[in-house]
Amino acid sequence: MESPISKLKKGMKGKIARFTDEMMAGKLMCMGVLPGSLVKVIRKAPFHGGFYLKIDGYNMVLREQEAANIVLTMEGKK
Amino acid sequence: MTIALVGNPNSGKSSLFNQLTGLRQKTGNFPGVTVEKKSGKLKLPGGKTVKIIDLPGAYSLYPTSQDERIVLNVLTNPKDENYPDAIVYVADITNLEKHLLLLTQIRDLGIPCLLALNMSDIAEKQNMKVNEQKLAGFLKMPVISVSGRTGSKVAVLKEKMGELLGSPSVHKKPFYPFNEVEKKTGGRIQAALKIENPYRAKLIAHHYNKLPFLSENEKKEIANICEAEKFQNLRLQISETMQRFETFVPALRSAIQQKGSGPVFTDRIDAVLTHKTFAPLIFFVIMFFVFQAIYAWATYPMELIDGGFAMLGEWVRQTLPAGWFTDLLTDGVLAGLGGILIFIPQIAILFLLIGILEEVGYMSRAVYIFDKLMQQFGLNGRSVVALVSGGACAIPAIMSTRTIGNWKERLITIMVTPLISCSARIPVYAILIGLVVPDGTVMGIFNLQGLAFMGLYLLGIVAALLSAFVFKKILKSDEKSFLMMKMPTYRWPVWRNVWQNIYQKVMAFVVEAGRVIMVISVVLWVLASYGPATAMEEAERSALATAKAQSLNEAETADLMAARKIEASFAGHLGKAMEPAIKPLGFDWKIGIALLTSFAAREVFVGTMATIYSIGSTDEETSVRDKLAAARNPETGAKVYSAATAMSLLIFYVFAMQCMSTVAVVRRETGSWKWPAIQFFYMGLLAYLGSLLTYQLMS
């Protein structure tokens, strides 16, 4: 099953399948967020804010519209 | 010879820079932008002294922020004054996999480079080991573990830096082999601009539009080449990045002998500190303590400085012969100097506390917590720190906005921060609230005057947020705003960094803002102590006559003289000239003078009022209040300080930009007079309209 990170709930995880925006992809990849990286949603920010993620063991925060550009493949339920 | 420190944000570059240069460093700006440039001197073991530049943190040579753009501009232009002869690449040893992209790019640029694996002390604690030799063999450059925090192996690093400068640069096989399009485009650009390094040509193909060192003709030529060769900018950037990671990640993994345990401790703390519900609460509790500390700790040194300058002024007055020069020295120069130095305790304490929070890693969390909320108003998560600090003093608050990466968001933060009621407004609020708000309680517990105080603070906060919203709509920016940020692991602060930051902030204020403040205070002094000669003499004569008629004692006579003189001075004339403009607000010329002199600093209002009402020798707030309460209009006999006037004046002080120090700091931080001027006028307009509305509705 595939889903952009922005649609995920706390605790869900998966592997990055692709990016939907090239410019965003360029920036994320420079920071070491690559296709194949493992992502887990740790929590969401107050005031309906961004996402606190664990990516390959590092902690990283993204805005919702930034997270919307990262598509994960997730195991299990279809 | 110049050596640059390059590395990702959070690589501990600044700690290492401080270790290398100590106090022999200076800060400035990169040309044309307000990104801070730190440079210093280092004496190498061989005796040679080299210049060290701390380039801003960057993830790659494909910039998405102003900081990263500077790194690209410097490293692709050998004619740049900051172009390094060698580079020390600083990487966080515990996060190596994500830190090496930029290093491989720099190596392909052919600049001599060594890799400093920073934070070796933390790696040790995490039981992590890296095979330096293996890594050095793969990267084909010296690799050395250091710690910018403890200073471990910094001496070895210095030695290696010396060797690096002495070694001839050899051509190495690039990490990233070009594809056909890149080869052809790069080759043509190399030929056109006479560039030796192929990777530099490729970067120019990617970024030529925004590179400041290319001429218009060159840009056109490159544009033609790129179009002819069908150079796909973004595609090629992504494939290059992918390939670089694919090359170095496997090699790196084989060089890491023991994998660390990871930031478990940080995760536990963040479960609380970034908790969806508790996080904002915790933030405000922390800020409350910061605020309290500023009040509690700054009061005493501020009184010392204040008292010290009063004594010094008195001493000068006693020692030197009376005359205009002594007056200028005491009431102009010394008063101005005192007015500058008085802010140092607040600036130092704020940056001590903010610096600790920054060093520990909490500030990144604050950004994450408030990002969404602040975004609605065109601000940044980091703006919340400036806005809260503005409650103590706008000056350090504005200086703290340097950490906001996006220029538009930083500018808006600077523009609205002075609307937050700072500590200098307190004496003015106290006097005027005491005049009009009865000292009673409502509903048994709420003190009325306290409520009025809170109302004024809230008014300032609301005005700041709404103004920010308006600026967000007006200001245009093509710079994209990102949150996208790694959360650093929590660490014990490095005190050396904290002290150095305080020192630099204080010096920046004293030296750069101080000059402006000095000039303005001398001008204000001239305005308040000189006037048309006949008017001044007349004032003196009439004061003496009145004193004689009422048989006043010496102090009372001096007070009366001061009152009459300021009325006859240029400031008095200005106040009277202003009267028609401020009459609709309910102000008379005396308040007009006070408004003028308050520009030196808001709390001067109290002193000026004391002088005008000839009680200069008693500086007590209560006696000023009694005097004001008793003041009546000589023609109508009505009270000057009716509730309407006092409220109107309060509103004026909430909104108006009456602080030359802030003006000076805004000029420094924005690099031009344009923004402080806009700020002065929009806040003045708010103040005028707010007061007008208040007075007209209440009277």
Enumerate the residues of chain A whose CB falls inside 8 A of the CB of residue B483.
50, 61-63, 66
Mean pLDDT of B62-83: 90
Nearest to A62 among B242, B275, B483 (CB): B483
State the pLDDT at residue B80.
92
Q: pLDDT, tens digit, for every residue of B536-585? A: 888 888 888 888 888 878 777 887 888 888 888 888 888 889 999 999 99
Could you give phi then psi for residue B99, rounded to 5 degrees? Answer: -110, -5
Specify the number of domains making up chain B. 1
Tell me which residue in B99, B368, B482 faces A52 most closely, judged by beta carbons: B368
Is any Cβ of chain A less than 8 angstroms from the Cβ of B95?
Answer: yes
Q: Which domains, ranges and CATH numbers included, belong to chain A?
A: 2-73 (2.30.30.90)
Facing residue for B483 by CB, picked from A29, A56, A66: A66
The answer to whether B149 touches B360, Cβ cutoff 8 Å, is no
Cα separation, A36 vs A39, in Å, equals 9
Which residues on chain A are in Cβ contact (under 8 Å) with B267? 42, 59
Those residues whose C-beta lies under 8 Å from the C-beta of residue B11, and which sit 6 or more positions away, are B57, B90, B91, B92, B99, B118
Residue pair B380/B404 in contact (Cβ under 8 Å)? The answer is: yes
Q: Spell out which chain A residues touch chain B, with contact meaning CB-CB distance below 8 angstroms.
A: 22-23, 25-32, 34-35, 42-50, 52, 56-63, 66
Q: How far apart are CA A17 and CA A35, in angstroms?
A: 6
Q: What is the pLDDT of residues B344-356, one digit of tens each?
A: 888 899 889 988 9
| Predicted model pTM | 0.82
- Nearest C-alpha of chain A: how many angstroms from B28? 28
CB burial readout A27-47, b (16+ within 10 A) else e: bbbbbbbbbebebbbbbbbbb
Task: Decide if B196 is inside a domain.
Answer: no
Q: CA-CA distance, B33 to B404, in Å (whole number)? A: 14
Q: In which band, very low, low, confident or very high, does the pLDDT at B600 lie, cut at 50, 70 and 90?
A: confident
Taking the CB of residue B626, how many other CB atoms lie within 10 A of it?
15
Per-residue pLDDT in tens (0 to 9) along chain A, 78 residues: 899 999 999 999 999 999 999 888 988 999 999 999 999 999 999 888 899 999 988 899 999 999 999 999 997 654
The pLDDT value given to residue B200: 95
B368 closest CB neighbour out of A29, A35, A61 = A61
What is the structure's pLDDT at B33?
63
Q: Which two tokens stand for residue B624?
A: 């000023």
CB-based contact A60 B484, cutoff 8 Å: yes
Q: Is B581 exposed, middle or buried (0-12, 13-18, 19+ CB in 10 A)?
A: exposed
Between chain A and chain B, the number of residue pairs with CB atoms below 8 A apart is 112
In a domain, B270, yes or no: no
Give the model's confidence band at B374: pLDDT under 50 very low, under 70 low, under 90 confident, else very high: very high
Tokens 């002819």 correspond to B228
Which residues share a beta bridge with B6? B89
Interchain pair B483, A31: CB under 8 A = no
Instruction: Check CB contact under 8 Å for B482 and A34.
Output: no
Angle CA B411–B416–B28, to nearest 5: 40
**Cβ–Cβ contact B59 with A under 8 A:** yes
Residue B310 lies in a domain: no
Residue-range definition of the domain harbouring residue B38: 2-166
Longest dimension (CA), chain B: 102
Output the pLDDT for position B261. Answer: 63
H or E segment to which residue B503 belongs:
helix B495-508
Cβ within 8 Å of residue B554, ≥6 positions away: none
Q: Is B52 contained in some domain? A: yes
Task: Please check whether residue B414 lies inside any domain of the structure.
Answer: no
Asked, for residue B191, whether it belongs to a domain, the answer is no
Q: Which residue of A has its CA nearest to B375?
A: A49
CA distance A78 to chain B (A): 29
Cβ contact A34–B242 (<8 Å): yes
Within a 10 A sphere around the Cβ of A8, how many other Cβ atoms? 21
Per-residue pLDDT at B237: 94
Which chain A residues touch B371 with a CB distance below 8 Å?
45, 49-50, 61, 63
Q: How far apart are CA B471 and CA B337, in angstroms?
A: 34
Predicted complex ipTM: 0.93
- Give a yes or no: residue B9 inside a domain: yes
Written as six digits, the tokens of B561 are: 């003289």
Residue % of chain B over a pLDDT of 70: 95
The distance of A64 to chain B (nearest Cα, Å) reads 9
Sign of the Cα pseudo-torsion (B676, B681, B685, B688, in order): positive
DSSP class of residue B487 equals: -
**Cross-strand bridge partners of residue B36:** B29
Nearest by CB to B234, from A26, A63, A66: name it.
A26
Specify the CATH number for the domain of residue B148: 3.40.50.300
Note whether residue B100 is domain-resident: yes
